[in-house]
Structure 1
Amino acid sequence: MTNSTSKEQDTHPLTSSFERYLQDKGKGRGGDGGNYRRNAERELQRFVEWAAGDRGDDDWTGIVPNDAEREPAFEDIDERTFREYARHLAGDRGLKQNTVQTYYAYISAWCGWCVNEGYLEAHYTQRASATAPLPEDDGRKPGDQQAWTPEQRHELTRHVDEQARDAVEAYTTLPADTTSPDKQRARYKALKATRDRAFVYLIAYTAVRVGELLRDPNDPRRRGVRWEDLNLEDGSMDVYRKKQQWDAASLPDPVTHPLKQYRKMLKPPTDRWPVFPTFDQRTLGTLVQEELADRGHQPAAIEDRRDEFVCDLLLALEDDIRPQSITTDGARSMLRRLTDDAGVDVDHPRHEYLAPHGGRRGMGEVLVRSFGYTVAARYLDNSEEMVRERYSHIEAGELGDVATEALNEIDG
């Protein structure tokens, strides 16, 4: 397969993007660590070798025009390139269906990054014609099956615990002569840290869907949980479920203390405040100005009032200007930041951070292994049939242990 290209001196080799991409996806100083980086680097090397004609059938000559003597370049790529690569992966009889999907996902993630960075004009790997040769979904859905491991859960919760403890201590031990702006900055930092911890614990231990906790801009019924929806003494929370009705979700013991400390720091003016209000400065600035104007304040007076606070969130709390809840996209951004800050190693083809659904699935693993499918189904707000299907690998492993024990007894 060959594609037309511009003048040879104007080409941009595919490999010119690799190091920068891998640094962005890597862990540690310089982005040179992490399982995801190692796996992505391996697949990118395989892809560029294939593009150069070094992999594939004997008839495959690569994507570089026959009259050009150079390595594969971005100018050689279009959606047909990835269609051929998908066909190459699917034709490798040694690869399982989900492995083919996983290998392709690494290349797709790089392609998406290249679009954002200006190397490519379109996300060719996601086009229907490019993905058509990939094997049908075998039910395992490798790109959607992230589950937080106990080690990952521990690393993330330990990080947010430390951040919250340090921020709260710094705020509550301020000297008496601390200026008002410095007190406000310390409070805001403690607010953010306790907010982060409360959210992480909810995702990690309640198995509640993130869409049941936060606001969905496309569904007015999903306005995000409010403090009036929580009963911290009884350990329950009312959420609008996926099945389109309100229902009570459990708040296990590990979650209640982070929520109580966060509420103590937030001091919501009323219980109708969202548990997780937006912290976005631009959104809050617009909200505060509009609300104070509606209350009869003149522009100069509004600016004077805003100048009394280091951020508009603290003004909103003081004057009971109720913001909206953060959105599910905002929550994912929060977890990306916290995963990176905590240095948690995540090896997954699509999710390079601890995604919200991974917390729910990780809790499902714990419940199925400890209490069985019936209890897990009730806690996860799913049918037992669906839970058995999604966690079938657990039962398969347990049956394998039973079979091994039976064989040992016979052989003994």
Structure 2
Amino acid sequence: MTWCGWCVNEGYLEAHYAQRASATAPLPDDDGRKPGDQQAWTSEQRHALTRHVDEQARNAIEALTTLSEDVDPREKQQARYTALRAARDRALVFVLAYTAVRVGELLRDPNDPRRRGVRWEELSLDDGSMDVYRKKQQWDAASLPDPVITPLRSYRQLMDPPTERWPVFPTFDQRTLAGLVQDELTDRGERSKAITECRQKYARDLLLALDNDIRPPSITTDGARSILQRLSEAAKIDIDHPKHDYLAPHGGRRGMGEVLVRTFGYTVAARYLDNSEEMVRERYSHIEAGELGDVATEALNEVDSLNRR
């Protein structure tokens, strides 16, 4: 992967500028920001976002499961689609918030065919692990802590993927799914009229894809950013950051890193973040600086106290 591609995946760049046909403006000036200036979800922000998506998913699933038996089939399909979307969003937020997995390791990168998004076959909910293609360009197991297990298990039960090779976080983009369904059914020998009639039986093409094992692509890293923009606004989360007015995906990883460094130190944090201890110390140097400042303050207070005696 190129340097620009890595920066896009990590959230440091909004777009892959090196792939643009031509530059129209000079390179930006160095804004002087330090590692500690990068967005990191605070505990309050993480709890606000996870509470919001959990409530939305619970309400949508309850609305589906409490429908009367004689309800119109299309209405039931629409309720299932709404529940699936809410459950997917909840699972995505919990994974980003608690696993510290890089968004480029979790979702599809259009610029890197090796990063096609994590599949159900790569998750072991019983063991609490997930196989991901790491930044170091090799497969490795990432931890799934307790908070993410229930959202993932509930989501899987609701989706009931036809095979284990389905992406955990498929796209719900209607235009993408419409083209995929049309092309796949054509390849299977269906005529245009039959395809139209088949699609008309479903409220959404995603439901047709599930019933016919037409595997959609995973959402992209850019798609995840769009989802988090929507969810951050809906949850009315207070965000004060110079670059992002929403909770960006990489902020979940950095927020988890802050928790681990402060609680267990740099060595444990480095293992969980799949980084070298040297890199973690560099990126979270503001924590050590603050702690050293506290030590200095305590030392000064002790000396001043002795001098007053």
> Could you say whether these structures have the same fold, taking a TM-score greater than 0.5 normalized by the shorter chain as the test?
yes
Question: Which residue of 2 is the match for residue 145 of structure 1?
Answer: 38
C-alpha distance in structure 2 between counterparts of 1:218 and 1:253, whole Å: 32
Residue 206 of structure 1: how far off its partner (Å): 0.4
Residue 401 of structure 1: how far off its partner (Å): 1.5
Indicate conservation of the 8 Å contact 2:117/2:218, yes or no. yes
C-alpha distance in structure 2 between counterparts of 1:324 and 1:338, whole Å: 22
Instruction: Confirm or deny that 1:231 pairs with 2:143.
Output: no
Match of 2:287 among 394, 405, 408: 394
AA paired with 2:92? F
Q: Which runs of 5+ in 2 are unaligned?
A: 1-13, 15-22
Question: Which residue of 2 is the match for residue 288 of structure 1?
Answer: 181
Match of 2:229 among 336, 341, 353: 336
SS in 1 for 2:114: strand
Residue 397 of structure 1: how far off its partner (Å): 1.2
AA paired with 1:394? I
C-alpha distance in structure 1 between counterparts of 2:32 and 2:61, whole Å: 49
Residue 408 of structure 1: how far off its partner (Å): 2.2
C-alpha distance in structure 2 between counterparts of 1:397 and 1:226, whole Å: 41
Indicate conservation of the 8 Å contact 2:35/2:284, yes or no. no
SS in 2 for 1:257: helix
Indicate conservation of the 8 Å contact 2:125/2:149, yes or no. yes
SS in 1 for 2:215: coil
Match of 1:167 among 49, 53, 60: 60
Question: Deviation digits for residues 19-41 of structure 1, max 9, x if unmatched?
Answer: xxxxxxxxxxxxxxxxxxxxxxx
Question: Which residue of 2 is the match for residue 217 of structure 1?
Answer: 110
AA paired with 2:185? L
Question: Which residue of 1 is the match for residue 51 of structure 2?
Answer: 158
Residue 160 of structure 1: how far off its partner (Å): 0.3
Residue 137 of structure 1: how far off its partner (Å): 5.8
Match of 1:259 among 152, 159, 169: 152
AA paired with 1:406? A
SS in 2 for 1:223: coil
SS in 1 for 2:64: helix
SS in 1 for 2:60: helix
Indicate conservation of the 8 Å contact 2:107/2:219, yes or no. yes
Residue 139 of structure 1: how far off its partner (Å): 6.1
Question: Deviation digits for residues 60-105 of structure 1, max 9, x if unmatched?
Answer: xxxxxxxxxxxxxxxxxxxxxxxxxxxxxxxxxxxxxxxxxxxxxx
Task: Pick the structure with greater CA Rg.
Answer: 1
C-alpha distance in structure 2 between counterparts of 1:350 and 1:369, whole Å: 25
Question: Which residue of 1 is the match for residue 3 of structure 2?
Answer: none
AA paired with 1:351? H
C-alpha distance in structure 2 between counterparts of 1:158 and 1:258, whole Å: 12
SS in 1 for 2:241: coil
Indicate conservation of the 8 Å contact 2:57/2:87, yes or no. yes
C-alpha distance in structure 2 between counterparts of 1:243 and 1:139, whole Å: 26
TM superposition score normalised by structure 1: 0.67
AA paired with 1:181? R
Question: Which residue of 1 is the match for residue 26 of structure 2?
Answer: 127
State which drifts further: 167-176 or 345-354.
Answer: 345-354
Residue 147 of structure 1: how far off its partner (Å): 0.6
Larger relative contact order, structure 1 or 2 (CA cutoff 8 Å, min sep 6)? 2
Question: Which residue of 2 is the match for residue 37 of structure 1?
Answer: none
C-alpha distance in structure 2 between counterparts of 1:400 and 1:325, whole Å: 45
Q: Which runs of 5+ in 1 are unaligned?
A: 1-108, 110-122
Question: Deviation digits for residues 332-351 of structure 1, max 9, x if unmatched?
Answer: 10000000000012111221
SS in 2 for 1:288: helix
C-alpha distance in structure 2 between counterparts of 1:139 and 1:193, whole Å: 36
C-alpha distance in structure 2 between counterparts of 1:337 and 1:315, whole Å: 26
SS in 2 for 1:238: strand
Question: Which residue of 2 is the match for residue 303 of structure 1?
Answer: 196
TM superposition score normalised by structure 2: 0.89
Residue 399 of structure 1: how far off its partner (Å): 1.2
Instruction: Confirm or deny that 1:187 pairs with 2:187.
Output: no
Instruction: Confirm or deny that 1:324 pairs with 2:217.
Output: yes
- The number of residues matched between the two structures is 285
Q: What is the Cα-based RMSD across aligned positions, in Å?
A: 1.8
AA paired with 1:241? R
Question: Which residue of 2 is the match for residue 377 of structure 1?
Answer: 270
State which drifts further: 363-372 or 287-296.
Answer: 287-296
Question: Which residue of 2 is the match for residue 315 of structure 1?
Answer: 208
Residue 407 of structure 1: how far off its partner (Å): 2.2
Match of 1:206 among 85, 94, 99: 99
Question: Which residue of 2 is the match for residue 361 of structure 1?
Answer: 254
Instruction: Confirm or deny that 1:274 pairs with 2:167.
Output: yes
Question: Deviation digits for residues 382-401 of structure 1, max 9, x if unmatched?
Answer: 11001001111111111121
